[in-house]
Amino acid sequence: MRHNALRDGHRIRLIEGGQAYFESLVMALEQAHSQVLLETYIFDFHGAALIVAEALERAALRGVRVWLVVDGVGTGQLPVEWQDRFDRAGLEWRVYSPLGALGLLIPSRWRRLHRKLCVVDGRTAFCGGINILDDWYDPHHGRLTRPRLDFAVSVQGDLVQHIQEAMTQLWWRLQVGEKVRMRQIPQAIHFFRTAGMSLPWQRATLESEGLSGPSRAGLLLRDNLLHRARIERAYLKAIGSARHEVVIANAYFLPGRRLRQALVHAAQRGVRVRLLLQGRYEYFMQYHAARPVYGSLLDAGVEIFEYDASFLHAKVAVVDPDNERPWATVGSSNLDPLSLLLAREANVVVADRAFVQRLHQRLSQVIQTQSTPVVMDVHSQRRWHQRLRDRIAFGLMRLALFLTGYRY
């Protein structure tokens, strides 16, 4: 069965914010008895995020098999203290695509592990945009006055096995790649042949087959092999079939031509389209490169709001929450070329009216109370140096895409 096919029988719970996410993760980790798999772009060992590290350590110490993968850019090497603690506990950890001496000067190293996934005992999975990072802290900006806005979901049902399979495949690829780099070819062949065999989580997965729930859900993966455009196509299909309303909250927003046209066409046929985007300066490229696309969207009737209460990190969307075909997605994928063309991403799609309405209600509340509308007259009259920075950032992004060989 294709992972992106929607299936009934899931229990999906919306989680907002790192604190609630960490508490849910820790609760599941404390009950783990067989296997834990965790992937994250950022694993920061400060503040509230520490409770996740400590829970992983405790699980490994009591005999649970724990696999942890962090990204080589988002996290880099783990702190030495935690390397030692994890090693002593028996926790197995890997760094995805370490940068090496030349770092990001090599375009192939722009392909990052950006998905945030966890599976516990083959029974419960987590997927979303939330890193293992304290909501009130930013590595580049320090202490925040308000927590960042982000979402995740917890999942029970058949989808858990699909998430688990994807994570296990990546783990074994990392194992094989490591042996090849060390020129341990026989060991690499052994890992390749035995990947996924006799793992303790297989029995736990079978126990979850009796679960039933009201939600229809599917998994969307994006990688550079078999699933290059799956997340983008899902957005295009949902926007293209929208009849009444589209709400998208996205931290780093620079949609390609097809996505922009889909949003424009939806607005032109009478669909209310609202975008909740980053309103506070975080990174030069992501902040400034988005603004040159505002004009054509505003001209078509798309409503744009900038979230300015804190940093926006959400990657969620809602389509037609009050109608016969409600649709929502929660995940790690931004609508920008880094996510849609280069990174490994994971989103869960939910077609359950109660869930979609709950997410829609929360996004509408944020738009009304914690964001500023972008007005065409004000946007078009920005100071020349602001427009110059926007154009420079937009040009640099296009140059980066040219270097990778992609068109967007």
Q: Is 121 a catalytic residue?
A: yes
Residue 386 has pLDDT above 90, yes or no: no
Instruction: Write phi, then psi, for 157 (nearest 5 degrees).
Output: 130, -170
Extract long-range pairs of 369-375: CB within 8 Å, 24+ residues apart: 370/149, 370/307, 370/308, 370/309, 371/276, 371/279, 371/305, 371/306, 371/307, 371/308, 371/309, 372/279, 372/305, 372/306, 372/308, 373/303, 373/304, 373/305, 374/294, 374/298, 374/304, 374/305, 374/306
Which of the residues 116, 162, 179, 227 is marked catalytic? 116
**Which residues are CB-neighbours of 203 under 8 A, at least 6 positions away?**
34
Lookup result for tokens 């070819």:
185
Which of the residues 158, 320, 352, 390 is marked catalytic? 320
Q: Is 320 a catalytic residue?
A: yes
Instruction: Write phi, then psi, for 133 (nearest 5 degrees).
Output: -150, 130
Pick the CATH number of 216-404 from 3.30.870.10, 3.90.226.10, 3.40.50.1950, 3.40.50.150: 3.30.870.10
280 contacts 310 by C-beta, under 8 angstroms: yes
- What pLDDT is recorded for position 181? 64
Q: What is the pLDDT of residues 20-36, one digit of tens each?
A: 999 999 999 999 999 99
Q: Is 179 a catalytic residue?
A: no
Q: What is the pLDDT of residues 71-100, one digit of tens each?
A: 999 999 999 999 999 999 999 999 999 988
Q: What is the pLDDT of residues 293-322, one digit of tens each?
A: 999 999 999 999 999 999 999 999 999 999
Instruction: Write phi, then psi, for 16 (nearest 5 degrees).
Output: -115, 125
Q: Is 44 a catalytic residue?
A: no
Q: Is 385 a catalytic residue?
A: no
Residue 115 has pLDDT above 60, yes or no: yes
224 contacts 342 by C-beta, under 8 angstroms: yes
Q: What is the pLDDT of residues 116-131, one digit of tens each?
A: 999 999 999 999 999 9
Which of the residues 10, 44, 71, 121 is marked catalytic? 121
- What pLDDT is recorded for position 146? 95
Confirm whether 18-147+158-210 and 216-404 share one CATH topology.
yes
Q: What is the pLDDT of residues 320-373, one digit of tens each?
A: 999 999 999 999 999 999 899 999 999 999 999 999 999 999 999 999 999 999
Q: What is the pLDDT of residues 152-187, one digit of tens each?
A: 999 999 999 999 999 999 999 998 766 666 655 665
Q: Is 313 a catalytic residue?
A: yes
Which of the residues 44, 71, 114, 150 is marked catalytic? 114
- The pLDDT mean for the chain works out to 90
Q: What is the CATH number of domain 18-147+158-210?
A: 3.30.870.10
Token duo for residue 196: 């996924």
Which of the residues 313, 352, 360, 390 is marked catalytic? 313
Which of the residues 179, 227, 315, 360 is marked catalytic? 315
Q: What is the pLDDT of residues 36-75, one digit of tens each?
A: 999 999 999 999 999 999 999 999 999 999 999 999 999 9
Instruction: List the domain boundaries for the chain.
Output: 18-147+158-210, 216-404
